[in-house]
Structure 1
Amino acid sequence: MDASFVALETRTSPMHIGSLLIYNPETAPGGFVRYKDILRFFESRMQLSKTMRQKLVRVPFELDYPYWIEDKDFDLEYHVRHVALPKPGDWRQLCIQAARIFARPLDLSRPPWEFTVIEGIDNVPGVTPGSYAMVTKVHHAAIDGMSGIDLMEALHTLDANTPPPNEPDTWKGEDPPNFAELMAKSWVNNLANPMRQLDAAARAMPGVAKAIKGLVAKDFKVHGEMIAPRTRFNTVISAGRVVEGRSIPLADIKAIRTAAPGAKVNDVFLTVIGGAMRKYLLAHNDLPDKTLTAMAPISVRSSGEKGDMGNQVAAMIAPLGTHIEDPLERLAYVHSQTVNSKAMTDAIGARNMTEMSKVSPALFMALGAQLYTRLGLANRVGPPFTTVVTNVPGPPVPIYSTGARLESMMGLLCLTDGMALGHVVQSYCKEATIAFTADRKVMDDPEFYADCIQQSFEELRDAAGSASPATITPAAEPTNSKPAAKKGAAKSGKAKKK
């Protein structure tokens, strides 16, 4: 799975994930943080992360998966950059700068990560003047959402005055393997791959049998609403990006879920996003009659793998109820669909789904990924899902970097051909953010979509506040009204940081 993100890397599809972080330096010594202070702080904590000083070595002709080695030429100043916004330094400028930084591919001949410190954000509503932001980029081959949180833990502390680690840094760089060594390793691994495939298949069989049994017993259903219709977001993408998001109280999300019996916090987020996509596409006269769907990653990382690099994720398909106008009916519908999808995933075994991906021949996987891009298949074949919605729980208490308090965090996501819009839901202390990354050519009005998210949340919150949970059930015949979009509606949003 890690190697698939390397194979999918193109100029227009850089496969990194990250965050837009905002820090308040009033808790730092002297109430001020300099660039060299950040470098010194990071350098003192390098030993706490396996990711920071490792780089990829790719095998000739893609005959085997890439290898990780310790980069003996590691240069911290290359990976930590420093820029400033011109005045006035508002929220929209920050989002534009973050999108530009995030659109640029990483140098895969070096450890695949970059952090960019951004000063001059003195006119962002709700942000203390003198604060600074940081855009993080880490290749998806190195981390998934949960191991990304572990990386955040390595570069943050629970107290502003926590001293550097006491243990000596015993890290040493490695010489990269030569051509002969790589070819020999790939030959041995390819000989063993058929046995690994048989082993994975044997371990998957009980899950397959359980899934068939569950399907027969109608524990879950495989139905047409899990197949996504084509939208403007399912196309070949460009190299440009836009990022935006909205912050909402986590307490409101927890209160809303009580409006539909059994609903989870993630169901609420999916419902809000479904409502936002409905509003956005209605305004563009482009809403399909059929519900849009989201791919929702599921972490299968065990407690013993907490600090490991790479990806340990499976996925489920979640219909978003975009064909339903009423927000509470949409919440009940989304909950019923996620229960069904989770039952299917549990029957097959999320871990089995991940293990099967580990035995795909590297050469075929790389060729398949390149052909998908070069032939423009995203414009010719139906999308497996409309968008991605990944939910990453953050720290429930304040954390600090270089003594500065982290005020907010907004997730950023990689895009691929066929998926020009992705969402990251992230919690931190009492805040939840719904952020999105989109192709700039597909969505040239990100402020409007961010306002759609805000409006969708407010409608659901207000409806849930006046409803009786006992009356909220999935709609058999959901309302599907499509009011005519007002001319210029797509441009009516105002950029605003809540």
Structure 2
Amino acid sequence: MRRLSALDASFIYLEDDHSPMHIGGVYLMDAATAPKGFSYEMFHAHIRDRLASSRIFRERLVEPPIGLAHPCWINDPGFQLDRHLPRLSLPAPGGRRELMHVAAHVFGEVLDRRRPLWSLSFVEEVNGVDGFAPGSYAMISKVHHAAVDGGSGVELMAALLDISPVPGRVEHDDWQPEEIPGSLALVGGAWAGMGRKSKELGQVLGEVARGAARIYGARRAERIDPPPTLLSAPRTRLNRAVSSSRTFWGTDFDFERYRALRRQVPGVTVNDVVLCQCAGALRAYLAERDELPRKSLIAMTPVSVRQERDRGKMGNQVSAMLADLATDEPDPLRRLLRIRRGTTGSKVYASAMPAHRIAEFIPSETLAAAARVYTRMRLGGRHRPFFNLIITNVPGPSTPLYLAGARLGAQFGMAPIIDGLGLMVVVLTHAGRLSISLTSCYRVVPDPDHLAHLMDAALIDLERSVAAAPADSLRIDDEDLPDAERGDDAAPALQRLRRASRDLDRAIATLDRRLRE
């Protein structure tokens, strides 16, 4: 029995019929790369052979009464693989539009909590997608966000996919089902851990203090400006209450285009280029409807804090940063430079405050009640938005991947929307391609294919703006660059900061030792 963290449990508490809280994706396999053919039976056998590679596949949720403790994962005593592998066929002509509509319908359905919280739909009759042979197929994945974040989701798919056409070795399977625990066991285990949490409190307070010191030192050295604050975003159509029907669309680009822009504009990252591209598309989309606010849109971008020791673990290991998208700036290059300056500071703030750990000290019944009231009373669309949208960038492998011998030709990611946050942008990279996927609903973005088209236009506009700019206009001010790229004038301030950080570490270690005693 493994208890969910507070962050993982919040995705359970926030879920409702109009807001399923799973993440997923669409994976397109080219029939031309599977000369021996492929079938649902082969797909079923492949997934069966990989069940031992991740505990997610056969763990189900058990929930304590009235939120007295966070839910737990147990080995499902009634696991049946067939329940998780639906078989679907695309309607004619079997093109991209039909596939995206089917995916939107699948994504809008809530996963059954009486079973392990995942499904892999096998989609046949993919006959009309450009670049794919007739008779190709797709896989539509769904996994509850309580079980995975972007990083662990990549690890999960890596358990199913191979780096060569020859499937990898099947792992030894020693899995055993568990009995569903009673209410007393579910609640008692949580209360027994309170003593451990009191000892951890010193460590978390230490992390907060160190983070505050880093921020203070960075600002004293005049390296960063504070990022946007929560509730400072303008009201837009993206922040309405959402409907239960989903809209979805995915488009992809040559990754070399992003690398080229990164090389042309010193100090800019690929993620900055993606944010600028999204900003340009959203600016055009809202302007077409005469709904572009004077104030810039604010995006939340998840930041993984998953470390090497966390590989293979379930759950979410993320922090977040807020990014000003500079949608009030008409010039694409100037918009990119503004975004770069903002993300430099936001990363310092995001890494400094361990919000995912602080949440562990909120009582479970309080967290559950607050989340359920917020969801069921549809409060999300009634107040000023925390931020306007979420843009999450999940890097993948640079080498091709295969499913039972067939090459993965394209992939598009999906993540949940809730009231007040009606657009989710998922960015994935794989084998020289970068995909941008849009999850919304008919009330917010009824035409995601058009918004995807504007993404293409925004990237072209940025490339033209950079190509036409004088070389000196591409330079980012020295104070905005990362430490490794700055001049020697910052060294004294940074040395003082490092000495202060070491002194603080020693004081925190003493505090932690005394708390343990």
Given the two structures, how large is their TM-score scaled by the length of structure 2? 0.87
- Per-residue CA deviations over 1:439-480 (Å, capped at 9, x if unaligned) read 2211112221111111111111222233344313679xxxxx
State the secondary structure of the residue aligned to 1:51: helix
Deviation of residue 172 (structure 1)? 0.8
Give the distance between the partners of 1:139 and 1:307, measured in 2 at CA: 16
Letter in 2 for 1:353: A
Partner of 1:305: 310
Map 1:314-463 onto structure 2 (within 5 A).
314-346=319-351, 348-349=352-353, 352-463=354-465
Map 1:6-25 onto structure 2 (within 5 A).
6-25=12-31
Query: Does residue 1:134 correspond to 2:139, yes or no?
Result: yes
Conserved? CA contact 1:220–1:344, under 8 Å: no
Gap runs ≥5 in structure 2: 1-6, 478-517
- Per-residue CA deviations over 1:113-168 (Å, capped at 9, x if unaligned) read 01111111211122221111111000001001011111111001111123542x43
Give the distance between the partners of 1:112 and 1:71, measured in 2 at CA: 11
Partner of 2:172: 168
Deviation of residue 72 (structure 1)? 2.2
Select the residue among 76, 82, 87 that pairs with 1:77.
82
State the secondary structure of the residue aligned to 1:22: strand
Deviation of residue 335 (structure 1)? 0.7
Deviation of residue 216 (structure 1)? 4.7
Conserved? CA contact 2:227–2:346, under 8 Å: no
* Aligned CA distance change for structure 1 residues 367 and 216 (closer, same or farther; 3 Å): farther
Query: Does residue 1:219 correspond to 2:211, yes or no?
Result: no
Deviation of residue 198 (structure 1)? 4.7
Letter in 2 for 1:382: R
Partner of 2:284: 279
Select the residue among 80, 98, 118 that pairs with 1:113.
118
**What is the aligned residue count?**
470
Letter in 2 for 1:452: L
Deviation of residue 63 (structure 1)? 1.0
Query: Does residue 1:208 correspond to 2:208, yes or no?
Result: no
Partner of 1:45: 50
Conserved? CA contact 2:422–2:441, under 8 Å: yes
Select the residue among 272, 284, 292 that pairs with 1:267.
272
Partner of 1:496: none
Conserved? CA contact 2:31–2:132, under 8 Å: no
* Aligned CA distance change for structure 1 residues 223 and 415 (closer, same or farther; 3 Å): closer
Conserved? CA contact 1:219–1:343, under 8 Å: no
Conserved? CA contact 1:251–1:430, under 8 Å: yes
Letter in 1 for 2:414: L
Partner of 1:249: 254
Gap runs ≥5 in structure 1: 476-498
Select the residue among 258, 263, 278 that pairs with 2:263.
258
Conserved? CA contact 2:267–2:476, under 8 Å: no
Select the residue among 91, 96, 102 that pairs with 2:96.
91
- Alpha-carbon RMSD across the aligned residues, in angstroms, is 1.9
Partner of 1:488: none
Partner of 1:102: 107
State the secondary structure of the residue aligned to 2:238: coil
Query: Does residue 1:465 correspond to 2:467, yes or no?
Result: yes
- Per-residue CA deviations over 1:406-440 (Å, capped at 9, x if unaligned) read 00111111111110001011111111111110122
Deviation of residue 258 (structure 1)? 2.8
Deviation of residue 392 (structure 1)? 0.6
Give the distance between the partners of 1:258 and 1:323, measured in 2 at CA: 25
State the secondary structure of the residue aligned to 2:361: coil
Deviation of residue 277 (structure 1)? 0.3
Letter in 2 for 1:221: D
Give the distance between the partners of 2:259 and 2:350, measured in 1 at CA: 25
Conserved? CA contact 2:31–2:135, under 8 Å: yes
Deviation of residue 191 (structure 1)? 6.0
Letter in 1 for 2:132: V
Select the residue among 151, 157, 161 that pairs with 2:156.
151
Partner of 2:487: none
306-315 vs 355-364, greater mean Cα deviation: 355-364
Conserved? CA contact 1:259–1:468, under 8 Å: no
Letter in 2 for 1:409: Q
Conserved? CA contact 2:302–2:318, under 8 Å: yes
188-197 vs 431-440, greater mean Cα deviation: 188-197
Conserved? CA contact 1:297–1:313, under 8 Å: yes
* Aligned CA distance change for structure 1 residues 282 and 218 (closer, same or farther; 3 Å): same
Give the distance between the partners of 1:180 and 1:319, measured in 2 at CA: 48
State the secondary structure of the residue aligned to 1:358: helix
188-197 vs 45-54, greater mean Cα deviation: 188-197
- Per-residue CA deviations over 1:222-264 (Å, capped at 9, x if unaligned) read 3668721111111221111111122110000111123332000
Conserved? CA contact 1:44–1:164, under 8 Å: no
Give the distance between the partners of 2:372 and 2:240, measured in 1 at CA: 16
* Aligned CA distance change for structure 1 residues 373 and 123 (closer, same or farther; 3 Å): same
Give the distance between the partners of 1:168 and 1:8, measured in 2 at CA: 36
State the secondary structure of the residue aligned to 1:378: helix
360-369 vs 198-207, greater mean Cα deviation: 198-207
Letter in 1 for 2:13: A
**Structure with higher helix content:** 2
* Aligned CA distance change for structure 1 residues 117 and 192 (closer, same or farther; 3 Å): same
Letter in 1 for 2:205: A
Conserved? CA contact 1:15–1:414, under 8 Å: yes
Given the two structures, how large is their TM-score scaled by the length of structure 1? 0.90
136-145 vs 235-244, greater mean Cα deviation: 235-244
Letter in 2 for 1:18: G
Give the distance between the partners of 2:224 and 2:213, measured in 1 at CA: 14
- Per-residue CA deviations over 1:263-292 (Å, capped at 9, x if unaligned) read 000000000000000000000100001110
Conserved? CA contact 2:25–2:141, under 8 Å: yes
Give the distance between the partners of 2:360 and 2:229, measured in 1 at CA: 29
- Per-residue CA deviations over 1:292-348 (Å, capped at 9, x if unaligned) read 0111111111111111110100010011111111111111111111112113234x2
Give the distance between the partners of 2:263 and 2:35, measured in 1 at CA: 44
Give the distance between the partners of 2:476 and 2:387, measured in 1 at CA: 22
Give the distance between the partners of 2:257 and 2:263, measured in 1 at CA: 10
Percent identity between matched residues is 35
Give the distance between the partners of 1:225 and 1:287, measured in 2 at CA: 20
Conserved? CA contact 2:84–2:119, under 8 Å: yes
Query: Does residue 1:233 correspond to 2:238, yes or no?
Result: yes
